[in-house]
Chains A and B, each alone.
Chain A
Amino acid sequence: MHELLTEFANKFHYYGYFAIMMIGLYAMIAKTNLLKKCIGLGIFQTAIMLFYVSIGAKEGAGIPILDPAVGTADPAAYANPLPQVLMLTAIVVSVATLGVALALVQNIHRDHGTIEEDEILKGLRGK
């Protein structure tokens, strides 16, 4: 039991990101409201960002901005900046994705008067 808990405590961020990711996936699959699906997609992508940033973290390390007192002599004093930089790009991508998705949802609402997927499909079949 103790080993199991240690294992969990050492790797808790993996379990955390995975749980959040599955919540997002559940929302994307199970919800019929298109806006909730967008939110699910956002949660899914955020979980991956969390995963990336967490792998760059080190114990006792600060933010990766050059500190004049430390200099570049001690890399252990800084968190790994590369995952953070990558995630800045990924955040931009996810904002753009969400923007396109919301624009589509807005147009769907204008055309069909609802954003519930089953009602839209019912309306399309009815015609």
Chain B
Amino acid sequence: MTAQLPILTIAPLLFGAFAVTAGRFLYRRANYALAALALAAAFFASVLLAVQTLTQGPAVYFLGGWPPPVGISYVADPLSALMLAFVSGAALATFLASKAEIETSYPLKNSAFYALFLLAVAGHMGIVITGDAFNLYVLIEVAALSGYAILAQGRERAMLASLNYLFVGSLGASLYLLGVGYLYIMTGSLNMADLSGIIGQMIPGGLSGSTALAAAWGVILAGLLVKMGLFPFHSWLPAAYSFSAAPAAALVAPLTTKVMAYVLVRMIISLFTPDIAWSVPAMNTLAVVLATAAILYGSFCALAQRSLRKMLCFILLAEVGYMVGGAFLGNRAGLTGTIYHIFADLLMTLCLFLAAANIERGTGGRFSDMGGFFRRMPVTGAALVLGAASMIGVPPFCGFFSKWYLLTGAVAAGSYAFAGALVVSSLVNAVLFFRIFEIGFFGTAASPADPADPANPAEETGHGHAEHVPFFRDEMSPVRLAPLCLVALSLVVMGLMTGQIVRLVVDPILPPGLG
């Protein structure tokens, strides 16, 4: 049983997707339970795998019993096992929190949405655990294709935004595939561990030893940055995430950019090894400059937004800059910061998008409609405050510690522009969220609760000043609040456990000599 754990994290989702599709014609009402069960099974297996990996060391699973380099292997080391647990936990929380939302946003297409949701999660988890460079491409496309389909449902612009995302996303994945082709020409292998050994022998002095391998790394990097939405390649991201229905955005926004950043880290650590991946100074400088530009651009564009979700999308762009910049500072602190920030940002984005989904449902989500929402939805408001504090970087929250590592790395590497951008972005985040707090505390709730929900008893009393609005008037049901509160609390827990996470997860996978 324990030997099969790596595959058991993915299998329930794939079978669940098929079962939901088949169940559509048999017994439609069981579909939600079936999908939730599949997600819970995947989460359970991932947590078990993480515990097993941390106590007994890394595990490698050969698909179909074919050993590498011929077969595809699934590699569970501390980093990938913890990432699996985070991804499946985030998916489960989103799924449980948005049951009602799914039923109203996707009328008559529930089963299709559940199947696509499960496939998207399976794709993202597969990307995390696979040890095969070509398999990674296929799983990127599995995750992305189901993502395009669920993001396309929404407001009238959602289709066009999703199609543009499809063009850019396919372009990025194709570039990655091209890079893998160059790797294959030079090494004759596709298994990452095998590739790493061959590359290390072939060019011990760095990428200047082989133009083809340098081209491979460059093209792979370009593909990943396009998929991640780093600054010059970002235009698809805010549109695709802000016009879609809320559950799709709450699933895809925390996962896709973070999983792609994970692939970047995986490429640096496990495929090229840091010494070789950082051996072209111009490439590192370019990546850090782009990251700095992404942070500044995302932060300042977020200031100009008039709705909560759109603002979060631009903050997401800035966060991508954090992760890319840290990965190319060329020192241990920077890379540690990037890895820690992948986990921290996954939780922060999830918390904020879930809170935004609740606020959107309660008030409409434009700043002008959100007046007094702390009184109307106090629990959601509290979760939003926790998420915002973490995003700003207030000490006990996890957002502070990743920024601390990144700043240390930036100063050690002498990238003062990047360090400055990190500080500016924190300040801008503070401005952004305190503006929302001001609206939430002091704004007046003039509009009735939810025009789409005539059953709301408080609707007649909704006109007037904030003090006339009863507490909890627009608050969501406990089913939606419980996952949100858990995620919000986990921000503090993760912040307090920073030392253990770095010691148990980050340190074992970084090469010992890395300064």
Which A residues are within 8 Å of any B CB, using their own CB? 25, 28, 34, 37, 41, 44-45, 48, 51-52, 55, 82-83, 86, 89-90, 93, 96-97, 100-101, 104-105, 107-108, 111, 117, 120-121, 124
CB within 8 Å for A104 and B181 given contacts A37-B167, A111-B159 = no
* Contact status of A100 and B166, CB under 8 A, knowing A48-B181, A55-B184, A93-B138: yes
Of all chain B residues, the one with the shortest Cβ separation from A123 is B156
Select B163's contact among A45, A52, A108, beta carbons within 8 Å.
Answer: A108
Interface size on B, residues (CB 8 A): 24
B152 CB-CB contact with A under 8 Å: yes
> Is the pair A28, B171 in contact by a Cβ cutoff of 8 Å?
yes
For residue B157, CB closer than 8 A to chain A, the reply is: yes
Report yes or no: A41 in contact with B184, Cβ–Cβ below 8 A. no
Given A86-B134, A97-B145, A101-B166, check contact A107 B152 (CB 8 Å).
yes
Contacting residues, chain B, for A96 (C-beta < 8 A): 141, 145
Interface SS of A by simple majority: helix
The answer to whether A51 touches B174 (Cβ under 8 A) is no
Please state if A55 and B181 are interface contacts (CB–CB under 8 Å): yes
Given contacts A93-B141, A97-B145, contact A41 B177 (CB under 8 A): no
Q: Could you tell me if B167 and A124 are in contact, using CB atoms closer than 8 angstroms?
A: no
Does B160 have its Cβ within 8 Å of any Cβ on chain A? yes
Output the nearest chain B residue to A92 by Cβ-Cβ distance. B138
Interfacial residues of chain B within 126-145, with CB under 8 A of chain A in the complex: 134, 137-138, 141, 145
Least CB distance from B292 to A in Å reads: 26
Which residues of A sit under 8 angstroms from B159, Cβ to Cβ? 104, 107-108, 111
> Which of B138, B141, B167, B178 has a CB less than 8 Å from the CB of A41?
B167
Nearest CB in chain B to that of A102: its residue: B163
B380 at the interface (CB under 8 A from A): no
- Please tell me which one of the listed residues A37, A55, A82, A124 contacts residue B157 in the complex, with CB atoms under 8 A apart: A124
Given contact pairs A51-B178, A55-B185, A108-B159, enumerate 13 new A-B contacts (beta carbons under 8 Å).
A28-B167, A28-B171, A44-B171, A45-B174, A97-B166, A100-B148, A101-B163, A105-B163, A108-B160, A111-B156, A111-B159, A117-B160, A124-B156
Which 4 pairs, one residue from A and one from B, show the smallest C-beta to C-beta distance? A104-B163, A93-B141, A108-B159, A97-B170
- Assuming the contacts A55-B181, A93-B138, asked whether A100 and B149 have C-beta atoms less than 8 A apart, the reply is yes
Kindly count the residue-residue contacts between A and B in the assembled complex, taking CB atoms under 8 Å apart. Answer: 66
Can you show 11 pairs from A to B with CB atoms below 8 A apart? Answer: A34-B163, A48-B181, A55-B184, A83-B181, A96-B141, A100-B145, A100-B148, A108-B160, A111-B156, A111-B159, A124-B156
Query: Is the pair A41, B170 in contact by a Cβ cutoff of 8 Å?
Result: yes
Q: How far is the CB of B139 from chain A (nearest CB, A)?
A: 10
B162 within 8 Å of A by Cβ?
Answer: yes
Chain B minimum-CB-distance residue to A40 = B167
Q: Which residues of B contact A93 (CB under 8 A)?
A: 137-138, 141
Please report the C-alpha to C-alpha distance between residue A108 and residue B156 in the assembled complex, in whole angstroms: 9
Please report the C-alpha to C-alpha distance between residue A104 and residue B157 in the assembled complex, in whole angstroms. 12
CA distance A111 to B154 in the complex (A): 13
Q: Return chain A residues, CB-CB under 8 Å to B152.
A: 104, 107
B141 near A97: Cβ-Cβ < 8 Å: yes
Query: Looking across the interface, which residue of chain A has its beta carbon closest to that of B146?
Result: A100
A89 to chain B, nearest CB (A): 6
Q: Which residues of A contact B174 (CB under 8 A)?
A: 44-45, 48
Residues of chain A lying within 8 A (CB to CB) of residue B181: 48, 51-52, 55, 83
The residue that A120 contacts in the complex, of B134, B149, B160, B185, with Cβ under 8 A, is B160
Q: Which residues of B contact A121 (CB under 8 A)?
A: 160
CB-nearest residue of chain B to A42: B170
Nearest Cβ distance between residue B79 and chain A, in whole angstroms?
Answer: 27
Least CB distance, A5 to chain B, in whole angstroms: 21
Residues of chain A within 8 A of B134, CB atoms compared: 86, 89
Whole-angstrom distance between the Cβ of B154 and the nearest chain A Cβ: 12
CB pair B170–A45 under 8 Å, yes or no, is: yes
A45, A104, A107, A120: which contacts B148 (Cβ < 8 A)? A104
Which residues of A sit under 8 angstroms from B156, Cβ to Cβ? 111, 124
Q: How far is the CB of B300 from chain A (nearest CB, A)?
A: 24
Tell me the bound Cα distance from A45 to B137 in angstroms: 13
Could you tell me if A104 and B166 are in contact, using CB atoms closer than 8 angstroms? yes
Shortest Cβ distance from B141 into A: residue: A93
Q: How far is the CA of A101 from the CA of B162 in the complex (A)?
A: 9
A41-B171 CB under 8 A given contacts A90-B177, A100-B145:
yes
Residues of B contacting A105 in the complex (Cβ-Cβ under 8 angstroms): 163
Residues of B within 8 A of A83 (CB): 181, 184
Report how far A83 CA is from B238 CA in the complex, Å. Answer: 36
CA distance A62 to B141 in the complex (A): 32
Neighbouring A residues of B160 by C-beta, 8 Å: 108, 117, 120-121
Q: Which residues of B contact A101 (CB under 8 A)?
A: 163, 166-167
- Nearest neighbor of A17 in chain B, beta-carbon distance: B178
Q: Provide the residues of chain A in CB contact with B166, threshold 8 Å.
A: 97, 100-101, 104
| Cβ–Cβ < 8 Å partners of A107 in chain B | 152, 159
A61 and B137 alpha carbons, distance in the complex (Å): 29
- Kindly provide the distance from the CB of A12 to the nearest chain B CB, expressed in whole angstroms: 16
Q: How far is the CA of A41 from the CA of B171 in the complex (A)?
A: 8
Tell me which residues across on chain A come within 8 A of B149, comparing CB atoms: 100
Nearest residue, chain B, Cβ from A52: B181
